[in-house]
A and B are shown apart, each in its own frame.
Chain A
Amino acid sequence: MAMMSRRSFLAGSAAALGTTTLAACGNPVTLPESMEAVRPNAGGPSRGGALYFGLSTDPANLDPHVSTGSASDYLRQLAYNGLVQYDGSGEIIADLASEFGWSDRLTYKVKLRPGVRFHDGSTLTAEDVVFSFRRMMDKETAATSGPLLDQVDSVEAVDATTVAFRFEQPDVAFPFALAAPTSNVVSRKWIESGANTKTQMMGTGPFRFVERIPGVSTTFVRFDDYFEPELPYLNGIVFQPMGDDYARVTALRTATVDMIDYVPATHVGVITRNPRLRFASDKTFGFGFVGFVTTQRPFDDVRVRKAIALSINRPSVLDTALLGNGRPMDGALMPETFAPYASRLDGSMPYDPEQAKFLLKQAGQEGLTLPVVTTSSYSVIARPAQAMLPGLRAAGMNVNLTQQEWLTFRASVAGKTFPVHSWGTAPKFGDPASLSDFIGSSGAFAENLDFRDDKIDDLLAQGRRTTDPNLRNEIYLEAEKRALELVPMTYTIRREQGEAHYTHVRGYEHPPKGAWTATALRRTWMEKTA
């Protein structure tokens, strides 16, 4: 009904009724009117319809292997498939693979589904898979999955439909690397023909890429030869970039779009109170942290870092910065959904300004002035940084908070221009092995902290080799314990993050186990009767 009222508003102008026109001047792309029709299917998902999606960014680089953030993964995972994927409950299931798994301790084999076609009509072969993974492992590609694949010794086609990955030592995290939204399979022929992978997409996915009009829309239509029967249900998906939080929420509330991503914490209330809207979210994945450059005085002193960690009033940060939409984080970095040990570390970092004062005194840093940098570009990062200030002041510290625009902030963090930064991100995948990004010496986030601890490095390497789940659990528990002692960074809050959509949009599930994936959109359908 919402869709009806939106479109029938212009009843006077017949052209507007039911017509979906999306075009910039002189550059028309029209999804035919018939695409919006939905065919009800008794007992099963309806077929047809076009989904309009308000996206928080306008992903510019469509390369299958380079991600600029979770929003761009939506597009990538519509046009491309990986070998495996996460299902609705966060388990790894087949995608292009028909069978997959370790054939021995050092070999991972994937058998491909037969008869999978690319959008250009050609058939997927093992050669394409080998080519794709070699492209990701090539440092020149700067592939997002590159660091996850660093344990792979070789990848080769055993026969026309089987691919073997060989290792020098076991790598428990490898399946997560395969399921990552940036581990996509591309057509070797297409890439070698010189296709511009930044502006075009051509994969095996359920939707064909039609066109991206920067700032206006990115359009996909159903791929009729998709290998999964019935899928996809929708005729098309149109992404509209809406960078401004308020604009995005308004577009949803006025039914200009059916769905939005990245619901800002300040608007969760407005959306959850609306019975026609559904908020699909998690409180496990995204988190905020304060990082220290551990080689700069006085932050090379663990007592100073610990004092700061103890002065952050996490429940208060949560209540003010995110209006309670999230959870305070006073223990492990990894959430208990995929790190069973996590609850054993709860309460390790209480709010204790008296103890903080004591530690500062011991370190000879009473009344310390703290230069902190954060970014103004994302409220989920900027707001917690602001909200932690009263706690720090209560422990006698002065904070000079500087907000920088995103890339300036990134340059400041990488260049270590400020000894302390307040940031927010998410683990790359849903396994404690992703700890290495943050506390492993070669991790992208640890690099910013000049942090290196041999014991943690040993534990992380051990964890990645160990297959016994109980043993792994103990290993990562040790690693996290040590990180809580050394405090290269202190975690603040887990933010509630998710998408909102009308209830007539069905079948969409927010990734449940904290493993980011956007494949749920492949299975989404609309029951709109209009």
Chain B
Amino acid sequence: MATAPESVAQALPDTPSRANGGRKPFFKRMLANRRTSVAGAFLLLIVVVAVLAPLIAPHDYRDIVGKPLTSGGTLGIDDFGRDVLSRLIIGLRTSLGVAVSAVLVAGVIGVALGLVAGYVGRWVSTIIMRGIDVLLSFPPIVLAIAVVAILGPALVNVVLVIGVLYIPRFTRIVYSQVLSIRSMEYVEASKIMGTRPADILAKTILPNVSAPIIVQLSLSVSFAIQMEAGLSFLGLGAQPPLPSLGTMVGAGRDFLEVQPTLLIYPSVLIILVVLALNVFGDGMRDLLDPRHRGKNS
């Protein structure tokens, strides 16, 4: 570390963790980074709100509580006379639930496929990567529309569709990363030492490709929120009267000049969640990356 020129330290993001030394426990290092911990705290808050949504919401999200398109309640009344705050809280729960589940589906399957394809190679990689190509060669929204139309518009189906659509993102990134490190010394060394392939994948390769996966995870949650919004916009996502942030943004579009907050509030909430996810993802990357840790210890 001491030999690194000044410019390297500048080029590295979020240096405090390093400055504080790497031997401290993980959480302590995380807390030491103010940005990451603020983002983490916000995400925690969001998750708590989402989980406890029905208890927190001041009104039933389906009830008519006032005159449509007026400023009653805390954040106003929507076009159907319902409380906007309550619908934001429930909508947050819906969107987060769908996005996180979908990205978990995509991440687990996608990363596994990418690791196997990249490490095993040969016909296995051909089958996997061409399968991914077939999946990628469909226009995603059209595939989603077709599948949801066939399966019926239910949230579970939306999770499945978004999950499947995002598999290629993970598989391709992991695959190209694995290809570029497969032949590196430390992987070769593990092979020679007779480590089982599964262990090499899990212990040697996975940590080394985790940085882009983490970036991709946080990005994908935001894409999933958007995809859910797009599907909801087309009437295939959350079914009314259940709100999601996407349906709320889509519905708010019609009242942009009458009551712009109907569009602004859910949009701002989406942006905040995505911002937090990204900052947190960045922080986690810096903390998790073995190359960063290696340099500190």
In their complex, do chains A and B touch, with some C-beta pair under 8 Å? Answer: yes
Q: How many residues of A contact B (CB 8 A)?
A: 29
Contact of A386 with B240 at beta-carbon distance under 8 Å, contacts A320-B79, A405-B235 already known: yes
Stretch at the interface among A11-19, A261-269, A292-300, A303-311: A261-269
Is residue B63 within 8 Å, beta carbon to beta carbon, of the partner chain? yes
Query: Which chain B residues lie closer than 8 Å to A386 at the CB level?
Result: 80, 240-241
* Shortest distance between the CB of A163 and any CB in chain B (Å): 47
**Stretch binding the partner chain, chosen from B134-142, B215-223, B250-258:** B250-258
Any chain A CB within 8 A of the CB of B41? Answer: no
B68 contacts partner chain A, Cβ-Cβ < 8 Å: yes
Are A401 and B79 CB-contacts (below 8 A) given A246-B253, A316-B64, A323-B68? no
B145 CB to closest chain A CB (Å) equals: 8
Question: Judging by beta carbons under 8 Å apart, are B62 and A393 in contact?
Answer: yes
Interface size on B, residues (CB 8 A): 23
Chain B residues contacting A405 (CB-CB under 8 Å) are 145, 149, 234-236
- Counting CB contacts under 8 A, is B190 at the interface? no
Q: How many Å lie between the Cα of A319 and that of B234 in the bound state?
A: 24
**Contacts A320-B80, A390-B62 given; does A403 touch B254 at CB 8 Å:** no
- A402 and B254 form a contact (CB under 8 A): no
Among A246, A267, A390, which residue has its beta carbon within 8 angstroms of that of B64? Answer: A390
Assess whether A390 is in contact with B240, with CB atoms less than 8 Å apart.
Answer: no
Q: Give CA–CA (A385, B240) in the complex, Å.
A: 9
Smallest CB separation, A229 vs chain B (Å): 45
For residue B73, CB closer than 8 A to chain A, the reply is no
CB < 8 Å neighbour of B80 from A264, A377, A387, A404: A387
Using an 8 Å CB-CB cutoff, how does the interface string of A363-397 with B read, 1 for contact, 0 for none? 00000000000011101001001110110010000
Q: Which residues of the partner chain A approach B69 to less than 8 Å between Cβ atoms?
A: 323
A401 touches which of B80, B234, B240, B253 (Cβ 8 Å): B240
Given contacts A319-B68, A403-B240, contact A245 B153 (CB under 8 A): no
Q: Produce 1/0 per residue, A308-322, CB < 8 A to B.
A: 000000001001110
- Shortest A292–chain B CB gap in Å is 20
Q: In the complex, A297 Cα to B234 Cα: how many Å?
A: 32
Contact A267 B234, beta carbon cutoff 8 Å? no
At the interface, yes or no: B81 with Cβ under 8 Å from chain A?
A: yes
Are B235 and A376 closer than 8 Å at their CB atoms? yes
Assess whether B21 is interfacial by the CB under 8 Å rule: no
A506 vs B18: C-alpha distance in the bound complex, in angstroms?
75
B141-195 contacts to A, CB under 8 A, are: 145, 149, 152-153
- Shortest CB-to-CB span from A49 to chain B, Å, is 30
Residues in chain B near residue A320, CB distance under 8 A: 64, 68, 79-81
Contact among B145, B234, B254, B257 with A245 in the assembled complex (CB-CB below 8 Å): B254
Q: Is residue A25 within 8 Å, beta carbon to beta carbon, of the partner chain?
A: no
Q: Any chain B CB within 8 A of the CB of A1?
A: no
CB <8 Å contact, A267 and B240:
no
Q: In the assembly, what is the distance between CA of A316 and CA of B79, in Å?
A: 11
Interface SS of chain A: helix, strand, loop or mixed?
Answer: helix
Does B126 sit at the interface, judged by CB under 8 A?
A: no
Instruction: Let me know if B241 and A402 touch, CB within 8 A.
Output: no
B79 A389 Cβ-Cβ under 8 A: no
Choice from B80, B145, B257 contacting A270 with Cβ under 8 Å: B257
Q: Which residues of A contact B241 (CB under 8 A)?
A: 386, 389, 401
Asked whether, in the complex, the Cβ of A246 is within 8 Å of the Cβ of B235, the reply is: no
Verify B62–A389 contact, CB threshold 8 A: yes
Contact present for A408 and B149 (CB under 8 Å): yes
Cβ contacts B59-96/A at 8 Å (1 or 0 each): 00011100011000000000111000000000000000
CB neighbours (8 Å) of B236 from chain A are 376, 405
A376 neighbours in B (Cβ, 8 Å) = 234-236
Q: Are B239 and A266 in contact (CB under 8 A)?
A: no
Kindly report which residue of chain A lies nearest to residue B235, judged by CB atoms: A376
Q: Give A401-414 as 1s and 0s: 1 = Cβ < 8 Å from B's Cβ atoms.
A: 11111001000000
Nearest Cβ distance between residue B35 and chain A, in whole angstroms? 38
CB of A403 within 8 A of CB of B80, answer no
Q: Is the CB of A377 within 8 A of B254?
A: no
CB closest chain-B residue, reference A379: B254
Distance A335 CA – B275 CA, assembled complex (angstroms): 54
Contacts of B255 in A (CB 8 A): 266
The distance from the CB of A184 to the nearest CB of chain B, in whole angstroms, is 35
B106 → A minimal CB distance (Å)? 25
Say yes or no: B62 contacts A267, CB within 8 Å. Answer: no
In contact, A402 and B257 (Cβ under 8 angstroms): no
Residues of chain A from 310 to 364 with CB closer than 8 A to chain B in the complex: 316, 319-321, 323
Residue of A whose beta carbon sits closest to that of B79? A320
> CA–CA, A386 to B239, complex, Å?
10
A377 to chain B: which residues have CB within 8 Å? 235
Bound Cα distance from A376 to B153, whole angstroms: 11
Residues from chain A with a CB closer than 8 A to the CB of B240 are 382, 385-386, 389, 401, 403
Interface residues of A in 199-239 (CB under 8 A from B): none
Task: Please give, as numbers and ranges, the residues of chain B lying within 8 Å of A316 by CB-CB distance.
Answer: 64, 81
Decide: A266 near B235, CB < 8 A? Known: A389-B62, A403-B240, A408-B149.
no
Write the nearest CB–CB distance from A313 to chain B, whole angstroms: 9
Write the chain B residue with the least CB distance to A316: B64
How far, in whole Å, are A402 and B157 apart by their CA atoms in the complex?
Answer: 14
Which chain B residue lies CB-closest to A273?
B257
Across the interface, A246 reaches (CB within 8 A) one of B81, B149, B254, namely B254
B239 near A401: Cβ-Cβ < 8 Å:
yes
Is A402 within 8 A of B239, CB to CB? yes
Residues of A within 8 A of B64 (CB): 316, 320, 390
Given contacts A245-B254, A264-B254, A320-B68, contact A403 B79 (CB under 8 A): no
**Min CB distance, A271 to chain B, in Å?**
11
Which residues of A sit under 8 angstroms from B234, Cβ to Cβ? 376, 405
Asked whether, in the complex, the Cβ of B153 is within 8 Å of the Cβ of A323, the reply is no
Q: A390-B62, A401-B239 are in contact. Are A266 and B149 (CB under 8 A)?
A: no
Closest to A321 in B: B80
Decide if B62 touches A403 in the complex (CB within 8 Å).
no
Q: Hey, which bits of chain A sit against chain B, CB under 8 A?
A: 245-246, 264, 266-267, 269-270, 316, 319-321, 323, 375-377, 379, 382, 385-387, 389-390, 393, 401-405, 408
Using A320-B80, A377-B235 as known contacts, list a sample of 13 further A-B pairs with CB atoms less than 8 Å apart, ordered by residue number in A: A266-B255, A270-B258, A323-B69, A375-B235, A376-B234, A382-B235, A386-B240, A389-B62, A389-B240, A390-B62, A390-B64, A402-B239, A405-B149
A-B contacts, 16 listed (Cβ < 8 Å): A266-B254, A269-B258, A319-B68, A320-B68, A320-B80, A375-B235, A377-B235, A382-B235, A390-B63, A401-B239, A402-B152, A402-B153, A403-B235, A403-B239, A404-B153, A405-B236
CB-CB nearest 8 A-B residue pairs = A376-B235, A266-B254, A320-B80, A386-B240, A403-B235, A390-B64, A320-B68, A320-B81
